[in-house]
């Protein structure tokens, strides 16, 4: 089911997060601090980073099934986004 992007005002960003977002927008081509698409991209990248942290911990705890499951899910997202 397709859902149109939410307006930026729906997301409550702290001043620190907004400042970081604005700075990154200056440094990363195609990233716009006032764009819902950019926020979606950042959210996706954040999910990938969090997945990497959890995967590292799962490896340390010999949870190979979890490592494989998370890896497959992250790969599907990356493929869908063309990363």
Domain count along the chain: 1
b vs e for 14-40, b when ≥16 Cβ sit within 10 Å of the residue's Cβ? eeeeeeebeeebeeeeebebeeeebbe
User: What pTM does this model have?
Assistant: 0.65
In a domain, 8, yes or no: no
12-22: pLDDT as tens digits: 878 998 898 88
38-81: pLDDT as tens digits: 888 888 888 888 999 999 999 999 999 999 999 999 888 888 87
Domain containing residue 63: 53-83
In a domain, 71, yes or no: yes
In a domain, 72, yes or no: yes
């Amino acid at each position: 089911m397709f859902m149109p992007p939410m307006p930026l005002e729906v997301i409550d960003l702290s001043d620190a997060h907004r400042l970081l977002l604005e700075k990154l927008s200056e440094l990363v081509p195609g990233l716009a601090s006032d764009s819902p698409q950019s926020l979606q991209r950042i959210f996706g990248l954040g999910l990938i980073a969090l997945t990497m942290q959890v995967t590292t911990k799962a490896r340390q705890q010999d949870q190979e099934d979890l490592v494989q499951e998370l890896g497959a899910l992250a790969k599907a997202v990356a493929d869908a986004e063309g990363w």
